[in-house]
Amino acid sequence: MTLANSNETLHRKREQSALSALNWVAVRPYMMIFPAIIVFTLFFLYPIGYMIYLSFHDWNFVSPDKDYVGFSNFTALLQDAKFQQVLRNTFMYSFATVSLTISISLLLALWLNKKGAMYGFVQGAIFSPHIISLVSISMLWMWIMDTDYGLLNWFLNLFGISNIPWLTDPKTSLLSLIIVAVWKGIGYYTLIFIAGLQSIPKDIYEAAALDDTSKVRTFFKLTLPMLSPTLFFLTIIGLIGSFQVFETISIMTKGGPINSTNTIVYYIYENGFRFFKIGYASTAGVILLLVVGVFTIIYFKLLSRKVHYQS
């Protein structure tokens, strides 16, 4: 009797410990992802929701009340001539920066995709601006683009071009920011293109060489199609990144002169922190979120289709 009893308790104990072990095994994955998920929820997902909520309200940051105003922030913003200019600037800046960077980098990649210490050094040199703080890049270029004492105008003088007020003339200010962005981005894009070129199987080229296909034809019929995933990746990543340009603007032009370089993120910053129009600023944020979201969805749609074709 006692033996059976103790046997039973032993059995129950084992069962219990097995059960708690089972619980632990079931709970463990959640414990392991918990810290990360908490960070994402608090600092990414909840803020997105809060921003959307604020875009339907009128609030000046100080007053205790947030007045619900429906879509009026959206209609007011889209009719605002200043915001229209901000959108135009942002798109102009983004498309010019990305198309210039991509075409120049592609040419450089075709040229620099060679073995040898010299080419390695050049690749390193053109990449170096990518890891330098945008603060330093911006200040360095402000100095280089200085109207009276800047290096750029001195260089242009050598060719008989008179001083250009790069950053202080609304006609050239956006162009100046594009030049800086292209200069900073080229190295990174070039190296990604080179990585893409190196992943193209060599035997394809041998076949083309046997057929006596011309260099230009080989590029358009072979290299470019093989590079299209890289090209596509860089275009989307480049556009999404450029839509959010802020640092160079904040340091070099402050959105000026006369709003010629004011872009969305700087506009949100200005409205939120200088004019305390929180609802308005949030609405601009939601619009940027939509734009970025559309490009991200396009990217994944096309990506999955490509994977489909290959399988």
98-137 binders of another protein (CB under 8 A): 108, 111, 118, 121-136
Of the pair 96, 281, the CB lying nearest another protein is at 281
Q: Shortest gap between Cβ of 281 and another protein (angstroms)?
A: 6
Q: Which of residues 24-53 bind another protein (CB under 8 A)?
A: 26, 28-33, 35-37, 39-48, 50-51
- Nearer of residues 122 and 222 to another protein, judged by Cβ: 122
> If binding is defined by CB under 8 A, does position 203 make contact with another protein?
no
112: its two tokens: 């620099």
Q: Considering beta carbons, is residue 7 or 50 the nearer one to another protein?
A: 50
DSSP class per residue in the chain: -HHHHHHHHHHHHHHHHHHHHHHHHHHHHHHHHHHHHHHHIIIIIHHHHHHHHHHTEE--SSSS--EE-TTHHHHHHHH-HHHHHHHHHHHHHHHHHHHHHHHHHHHHHHHH---SHHHHHHHHHHHGGGGS-HHHHHHHHHHHT-TTT-HHHHHHHTTTPPP--TTTSTTTHHHHHHHHHHHHHHHHHHHHHHHHHHTS-HHHHHHHHHTT--HHHHIIIIIHHHHHHHHHHHHHHHHHHHHT--HHIIIIITT-STTTT--HHHHHHHHHHTS--HHHHHHHHHHHHHHHHHHHHHHHHHHHHHHHHH-
Between residue 66 and residue 105, which ones bind another protein under the rule CB under 8 A? none
Q: Shortest approach of another protein to residue 139 CB, angstroms?
A: 6
Query: For another protein, which is the closer residue by CB, 12 or 154?
Result: 154
Residue 189: both structure tokens together = 């894009």
Given a contact cutoff of 8 angstroms between Cβ atoms, the answer to whether 79 and 161 are in contact is: no
- Cα–Cα distance measured from residue 273 to residue 9, given in angstroms and rounded to the nearest whole number: 68
Are 282 and 72 spatial neighbours (Cβ–Cβ below 8 Å)? no
The two tokens of residue 126 are 């053109």
Closest contact distance (angstroms) between CB of 7 and another protein is: 27
289 contacts another protein (rule: CB under 8 A): yes
Nearer Cβ to another protein, position 113 or 172?
A: 113
Size of residue set near another protein by CB under 8 A: 84
Q: Which is nearer to another protein, 65 or 148 (CB)?
A: 148
Among 68, 71, 143, 275, binds another protein (CB under 8 A): 143
Q: Which is nearer to another protein, 222 or 237 (CB)?
A: 237
In the complex, least distance from residue 270 CB atom to another protein, rounded to whole angstroms? 11
Q: What's the residue count for the chain? A: 311
| 164-183 residues near another protein, rule: CB under 8 A | 183
Q: Tell me the window of 10-18, 78-86, 140-148, 219-227 that interacts with another protein (CB under 8 A).
A: 140-148
CA gap 158, 168 in Å, rounded: 22
Which span (84-92, 141-149, 205-213, 219-227) binds another protein, by CB under 8 A? 141-149
- Residues between 220 and 249 with contacts to another protein, criterion CB under 8 A: 230, 233, 237, 240, 244, 246-247
Closest to another protein by CB, 6 or 224: 224
Q: Tokens 């097995």 sit at which residue?
A: 18
Contact segment (CB under 8 A) with another protein among 7-15, 84-92, 146-154, 169-177 equals 146-154
Q: Rank residues 69 and 104 by Cβ distance to another protein and give the closer one.
A: 104
What's the min distance (Å) between Cβ of 51 and another protein? 4
